[in-house]
Structure 1
Amino acid sequence: MNITSKVKSLMQGDFFKKIVDSFFGKVASVAFTMLFSLVCTRLYGAEVFGQYTFAFSIVTLLSIFAKAGFDNGLVYYIPKYGNKYISLSLFLSSIISAVIIIISMFFIEDTFVKWMIPLIWFSALEQIFFGIYRTTDRIKQYFFINGFLALILRIALAVVFYFVFEPTAFYVGVAVYLSFVFSNIIYIYSNLNRIKRINYEPTFVKYSFSLVLAAVMSVAIDRIDTIMLGQMIDMKTVGIFQISTQIATFMTMILIIFDTAFAPQISKLYHSGQHEKLREMYVKCTRLLGLIALAALIFLVTFSDFILSIFGQEFPEGQMVLILKLLGQFINVAVGSVWLMLSMTGRPKFHIYGNLLACSLNIGLNFLLIPHYGMNGAAFASMIAIMVTNIIGYILVAKEFKVKVYRFF
């Protein structure tokens, strides 16, 4: 079957529609996120943006514990049991969020970080609602709220606060707070018919909790270098590093868009016994993802200096960071949805072990390299961690599902 036939076969049916919805939603989300970063760097400067990024990275990491794997647990269970465990997920996540927020207040000394900590609850709820929307075929609605309305509000508030108040990280934080409150109110209102009485089920909770460590490791791989740079270097470096990282995520966006629609599809095909169709879909889609990732890599590396200069004269310092991050993300996209294939088919332990290895590598290399090479050392550590974990994931999928995506590997 030639490339044209493969593309046509993928474009047929409801799955392709979900991909399209996810594509336009995620593109809008990434575009407006980058616009928010551009506004912050141009108006508030690299140091203030770095201060915000450092605090929000801690919030993002802790919110993984707060959502407790319920977002992916719902993706796995909703095809089988409908809305049965949605209320339980929201209730338990709120309890866990409150505990984490209270404990964090005793251990965190930085005033701004401490002020940002309650965002953990809003962030955790948003991720759980994301799991609900993607599994109930409402990806378009979610991205309209999260990737358009909330971010437009965030950007507008950041601009208004700059001209009305003193341009500090505090007002960037206020803009983020209000956008999260706004989006979560809409999520709750739009899903009132799904939020009913709480049905406690130990099996569901156990399955969801088993995904927490994998999720923590995944976010740690993505955020730990930012946090360590903030502790070991300075906030200006964090700001430059974050912009390079965000640009590199343009390549990852290709995989995220696909995963948004593919995760529920994996669960449905697996539970319905259509294993051959699942294998075929994974192989075709991964080959296409690899080609798109290669084109994106060439384009972004070629124009890396120009793209970074858009954010300000300080940001081309992060060119090597961007290139190293892009190389790591290329491997990530080229192997496809390996960890989803494992976790959505009842094999979450593989994801845990793979991410634990990657996170350990990332932290260890960061400790060794950041003191000597700064943000370039952090980027190299991240690249190695991402490459290693995804190559291992690819080998595991090839073995478990008896598939071979590429001719020689």
Structure 2
Amino acid sequence: MRDKIKSLSKDTLIYGTSTVIQRFLAFILVPLYTNIFSPSEFGIQANLFAYIAILNVFFSIGFESGYFKFASTLEIGDKKDNFSLPYFSIFINSFILSAVLFIFPVNLAPLFQLAPERAPILLRYSALILFFDAAVLIPFAYLRLRRRAKVFGTLKVLSITINVSLNILFLLVFRWGIEAIFLANAIASGVTFIIFLPLIFKNLTFRFNKQLYKEILKFSIPLIPAGIGANLVQVIDRPILRYLTNEQTVGIYQANYRMGILMMLFCSIYEFAWRPFFLQTAKEPNAKQIFSKIMTLFIFAACVLFLFFSFYIENIVKIPLPFKGYLLGKAYWSGLYIVPIVLAGYLFYGIYINLMAGIYIEKKTKYLPLITGIGAAMNIIVNFALIPKFGITGAAYATLFSYLAMMIGIYMITKKFYKVDYEFSKIYLIFFSTIATFIIYSFTAGTFLHEWYFKILYIVLFFVLIFAFKIITLNDIKSLRGIKKPAKQIVPDEL
């Protein structure tokens, strides 16, 4: 079991390094935006990017996951068949949808809560972003499946570097408005697509494997409503918040929500390595035992991050910048109190990611629309119920409750056909220790015990509770050290 956990840890480290760099570079944009734009202007771009996130599902039509499923085993067709069918499907679909956005921006402006005079340029840039991002989904999946983590990471970092550099150029040098954010993103996505062209052409075939296409459709179509639900959970709060309040409130909410990026980053790093890992480990005789131990270790790591960033977020955002302002613009500090709620929501989402293994291993993706639908419904209902009374706090709790509902839902369904005996006693004790530490910390608010150097003691207290009761042992920690290079079940091709 230890070798398998080391294998996941090795992949996580490789993907993690590049993803940390990507997210760090992207995070640079938060102080840039919040020190340049007013909350109202920042709210406009936040709201439109929320719509872009929802539309991504309609552009990808679930075929990225279909590619992972069938290309990982080559049950039907060869490597080129499994690459070409999902690639052409996404490409053609994306071209049509992008053309509609490009041709009819003014007509579509009300759907995106945009003023008609701003719609043409913003929606056309958005169409380009959506098209290019969809066109590289399968190539990036190809690299992940073949564990080409270094190439994958390099291209991701290059794309975000171009994006950040152009943002700095357009905003600080040219002094353009929020349109520059979308233009920079579109150019970066376009460059990534061009770089991938040799790999794309190398793996394309114009053969049509009817049986493979039917199986990919059967697997992928249920993922469309599931993807819509998952994305609604992540971003629907912005449009609802805009509908019930104003762009300024959306801007403050978005900026502070982004402060939870560090927990999201942890989950993203983990998911990149987790999906190919569990698909390739599923046939191991002790696979379920491995998954159980990994769940415990994941929750422990996530709770450590939750406590650290909940305690230190005020210190972090008030770090002064060399040019002017702070890590988070002062106009946005009024929303810092929602950050622990956002962190907790992403923690539940991370557990949900772990629980997805059974769904994919047993090909039960038909349940995903139900699970994510529950999460989306919970999000929408709680947003409309709480935002009028509690503002951005209500929106943050809506996201937390929706991820919690999805976590419970996927566990209740998955255990019926892929039961894993998780270490619930240890998991409960980890959560108890986390909550107890957070409550003790909260009671000291407004006192000298809230100084940054005392906050370290609260985190030490958490570790004392964990190790004193042997919830996590040193052997558990050592098993995460990626000492041995994982065996490759799929031999990578040259890029």
TM over 0.5: yes
How much identity, in percent, do the aligned residues show?
A: 19
Is the contact made by 2:257 and 2:339 (CA closer than 8 Å) also made in structure 1?
Answer: yes
- Matching of residue 136 in structure 1 with residue 133 in structure 2: no
Is the contact made by 1:339 and 1:351 (CA closer than 8 Å) also made in structure 2?
Answer: no
Is the contact made by 1:71 and 1:132 (CA closer than 8 Å) also made in structure 2?
Answer: no
Give the Cα separation in 1 of the matches to 2:100 and 2:353: 38
Question: Per the alignment, do residues 335 and 386 of structure 1 end up closer, same or farther by CA in structure 2, a change over 3 Å counting?
Answer: closer
Structure 1, 163-172 or 345-354: larger mean CA deviation: 163-172
Instruction: Choose the corresponding residue for 1:379, options 392, 396, 402.
Output: 396
Look up the match of 1:296.
305
Question: Which letter maps to 1:176?
Answer: N
Deviation at 1:79, TM superposition (A): 1.5
Give the Cα separation in 2 of the matches to 1:290 and 1:53: 30
Give the Cα separation in 2 of the matches to 1:88 and 1:338: 29
Give the Cα separation in 1 of the matches to 2:402 and 2:237: 11
Look up the match of 1:228.
240
Question: Per the alignment, do residues 239 and 340 of structure 1 end up closer, same or farther by CA in structure 2, a change over 3 Å counting?
Answer: farther
Is the contact made by 2:54 and 2:231 (CA closer than 8 Å) also made in structure 1?
Answer: yes
Aligned with 1:405: secondary structure? coil
Look up the match of 1:186.
195
Aligned with 1:303: secondary structure? helix
- Matching of residue 16 in structure 1 with residue 26 in structure 2: no
- Matching of residue 342 in structure 1 with residue 342 in structure 2: no
Question: Per the alignment, do residues 319 and 150 of structure 1 end up closer, same or farther by CA in structure 2, a change over 3 Å counting?
Answer: same
Deviation at 1:209, TM superposition (A): 1.5
- Mark the runs of 5 or more structure 1 residues left unpaired by the alignment: 1-5
Look up the match of 2:135.
125
Deviation at 1:45, TM superposition (A): 4.1
Pairwise mapping of residues 94-133 of structure 1 onto structure 2 (< 5 A)?
94-104=91-101, 105=104, 106-109=107-110, 110=114, 111=119, 113-118=122-127, 119-133=129-143
Question: Which letter maps to 2:170?
Answer: F
- Matching of residue 269 in structure 1 with residue 281 in structure 2: yes
Q: Deviations over 1:331-354 (max 9, x none)?
A: 232465112431343011222211
- Matching of residue 59 in structure 1 with residue 52 in structure 2: yes
Instruction: Using structure 2 for the length normalisation, give the TM-score.
Output: 0.75
Question: Per the alignment, do residues 17 and 327 of structure 1 end up closer, same or farther by CA in structure 2, a change over 3 Å counting?
Answer: closer
Look up the match of 2:341.
324
Q: Deviations over 1:20-54 (max 9, x none)?
A: 11111221121111112222222334333322221
Look up the match of 2:19.
26
- Matching of residue 247 in structure 1 with residue 259 in structure 2: yes
Question: Which letter maps to 2:31?
Answer: L
Q: Deviations over 1:186-223 (max 9, x none)?
A: 22334432223253422212311221111111111001
Give the number of equivalent residue pairs.
398
Give the Cα separation in 2 of the matches to 1:223 and 1:115: 21
Look up the match of 1:369.
386
Give the Cα separation in 1 of the matches to 2:353 and 2:187: 35
Question: Which letter maps to 1:139?
Answer: A
Aligned with 1:85: secondary structure? helix
Question: Per the alignment, do residues 108 and 345 of structure 1 end up closer, same or farther by CA in structure 2, a change over 3 Å counting?
Answer: farther
Look up the match of 2:36.
43
Question: Per the alignment, do residues 171 and 335 of structure 1 end up closer, same or farther by CA in structure 2, a change over 3 Å counting?
Answer: closer
Larger radius of gyration: 2
Give the Cα separation in 1 of the matches to 2:267 and 2:233: 17
Question: Per the alignment, do residues 378 and 295 of structure 1 end up closer, same or farther by CA in structure 2, a change over 3 Å counting?
Answer: same
Question: Per the alignment, do residues 325 and 80 of structure 1 end up closer, same or farther by CA in structure 2, a change over 3 Å counting?
Answer: same
Q: Which has the higher contact order (CA 8 A, sep 6+)?
A: 2
Deviation at 1:302, TM superposition (A): 0.6
Pairwise mapping of residues 301-316 of structure 1 onto structure 2 (< 5 A)?
301-309=310-318, 310-316=327-333
Deviation at 1:296, TM superposition (A): 0.5
Q: Deviations over 1:298-353 (max 9, x none)?
A: 11111122334421102222223212111222223246511243134301122221
Question: Per the alignment, do residues 163 and 45 of structure 1 end up closer, same or farther by CA in structure 2, a change over 3 Å counting?
Answer: same
Look up the match of 1:3.
none
Give the Cα separation in 2 of the matches to 1:216 and 1:336: 16
Structure 1, 230-239 or 172-181: larger mean CA deviation: 230-239
Question: Per the alignment, do residues 337 and 91 of structure 1 end up closer, same or farther by CA in structure 2, a change over 3 Å counting?
Answer: same
Give the Cα separation in 2 of the matches to 1:41 and 1:251: 21
- Matching of residue 256 in structure 1 with residue 268 in structure 2: yes
Determine which structure has the larger helix proportion and give its number: 1
Give the Cα separation in 2 of the matches to 1:163 and 1:24: 29
Question: Which letter maps to 1:313?
Answer: K
Deviation at 1:169, TM superposition (A): 0.8
Question: Which letter maps to 2:88?
Answer: F
Root-mean-square deviation (Å):
2.2
Question: Per the alignment, do residues 189 and 38 of structure 1 end up closer, same or farther by CA in structure 2, a change over 3 Å counting?
Answer: farther
Give the Cα separation in 2 of the matches to 1:206 and 1:76: 12
Instruction: Choose the corresponding residue for 1:73, options 43, 66, 72.
Output: 66
Is the contact made by 2:122 and 2:182 (CA closer than 8 Å) also made in structure 1?
Answer: no
Instruction: Using structure 1 for the length normalisation, give the TM-score.
Output: 0.90
Is the contact made by 1:266 and 1:345 (CA closer than 8 Å) also made in structure 2?
Answer: no
Structure 1, 203-212 or 357-366: larger mean CA deviation: 203-212
Give the Cα separation in 2 of the matches to 1:318 and 1:130: 36
Aligned with 1:117: secondary structure? helix
Instruction: Choose the corresponding residue for 1:212, options 224, 235, 259.
Output: 224
Is the contact made by 2:293 and 2:423 (CA closer than 8 Å) also made in structure 1?
Answer: no
Give the Cα separation in 2 of the matches to 1:244 and 1:10: 37
Give the Cα separation in 2 of the matches to 1:198 and 1:121: 24
Is the contact made by 1:63 and 1:121 (CA closer than 8 Å) also made in structure 2?
Answer: no
Deviation at 1:180, TM superposition (A): 0.8
Structure 1, 374-383 or 251-260: larger mean CA deviation: 251-260
Question: Per the alignment, do residues 156 and 330 of structure 1 end up closer, same or farther by CA in structure 2, a change over 3 Å counting?
Answer: same
Is the contact made by 1:214 and 1:356 (CA closer than 8 Å) also made in structure 2?
Answer: yes
- Matching of residue 87 in structure 1 with residue 98 in structure 2: no
